[in-house]
Amino acid sequence: MKKINLILLFFMVFILSSCSTYERLNQNIFTMGTVVNVKIDHKNKNEAENHFKEIKAIFDYYHELATNEEASIHQYHNVYHINSSIKKTTEEQITIQVEKELYEMIELALKIEKETTVNGIKYFDISMGQIIDEWKEWLKLEFENMSEEEKHQSLIDVKERVAAIPLIHEGITLTKVGETHYLTVKQGVKIDLGAIAKGFALEEVKKYLKTNKVDSYLVNAGGSSIISGINRKKENGQYLIGLEDPVKSLNYKTGFYAKVNISNMGLTTSGNHKQFVKVKEDEKINIYHHIISPQTKKPEMFYHTVTLFEENVALADGLTTALFNMPKEVLTTYLKEKDHHLILYQTDETIQLMFKEELYDLQWEQGYR
């Protein structure tokens, strides 16, 4: 009996020492216009450091593909190249060969567009880059140097400009011939992948980590998109994630309204609290932000944030944008046939959960429940 106990003790010590060999490396990567924080629990530091390099390379590659800016160091057939080509041509449409990965990103975006079109109304559209650009430029104005009257006039001006820009019906078509990928784009289309590129890159990072048998990680892309594996530093194997309070952010403060526990799960948030301008209209302060509705061609204010728990963060990135653009009655109807786990932080500052609270061991901050 004593011998058996000694054997059991040996195995217990072996297991505990094996677990303790995992160390955590933590690194910030600047890419896609944001800071991506990467945590990896590892047994081999050199391998972990190589993973950081590969993760940055994945993000940088998808940034190069999706960028609307000329500053590309590679000769990819990227979004900038496509948009420049359609702008220069006098033809009604053009067909361009594109990279396989860009084709796949646009393919997913068009799928999301189709699946989130309700009663003929689009809530997600990557072809309205001209409209998005107008609002982006408006958001960059030096409002601190403007009077309320000047700010209000600039808002009227941007609304008039976007009203004159037509939305193009079925403006993008995909074709594959063998292993060659083509994109056909109609005149008037300007592609903008800002609502999906970061999530798509994160999903590719997840695939890379799985291929390399890395199962303990947390990758946080700017706080709005997160992927997680197993947390080897916690007994429950989960990571505790803070959910940012958008109302505090809109008032230039910081804080969480709740925390959730996740493992092997993605988390994506779309909201009005990251890029915004407050404008006084009819004695009311309205918030104009960077998420533009295809239906109205302007930012809508149905919610402060929409947060989605979803394993596929590429899908979730585009989906939260579409859901954010849906009025509550449309969203409720749309979700009846879906199994999405959502948190809606509504404009009346109430928070609605569309899942059972214990599913993610939700921990409310004081005063929110």
Q: Rounded distance, CA 285 to CA 328, Å? A: 21
* CB neighbours of residue 266 within 10 Å: 24
Sequence-distant (6+) residues with CB within 8 A of 351 are: 257, 258, 343, 344, 345, 368
Q: What angle do CA 214, 217, 220 make, to 5 degrees?
A: 135
Q: What phi and psi, each to the nearest 5 degrees, are found at residue 254? A: -125, 155
Distance (Å, whole) CA 348 – CA 108: 33
Q: What is the pLDDT, as a whole number, of residue 8?
A: 39
Do the beta carbons of residue 314 and residue 203 sit within 8 Å?
yes
Q: Are strands 256-262 and 239-244 parallel, antiparallel or unpaired?
A: antiparallel
The crossing angle, in degrees rounded to 10, of helices 45-66 and 197-211 is 150
Q: At residue 352, what are phi and psi to the nearest 5 degrees?
A: -110, 125
Task: Specify burial of residue 67 (Cβ count, 10 A radius: 0-12, 13-18, 19+).
Answer: buried
For every residue of 200-232, DSSP letters joined together read: HHHHHHHHHHHHTT---EEEEETTTEEEE---T
pTM passes above 0.85:
yes
Distance separating alpha carbons of residues 86 and 184, to the nearest angstrom: 10
Residues of the chain with pLDDT under 50: 1-19
Residue 184 burial (CB < 10 Å; 0-12/13-18/19+)?
middle
- Count Cβ atoms within 10 A of the Cβ of residue 32 and give its class: 0-12 exposed, 13-18 middle, 19 or more buried: buried
Asked if 365 and 257 touch (Cβ cutoff 8 Å), the reply is yes
Instruction: State phi, psi for 98 to the nearest 5 degrees.
Output: -130, 165
CA distances from residue 290 to 226, 271, 333 in whole angstroms, order as listed: 20, 9, 25
Q: Which domains does the chain have, with CATH numbers?
A: 21-68+194-222 (3.10.520.10), 73-124+168-191 (no CATH), 238-369 (3.10.520.10)
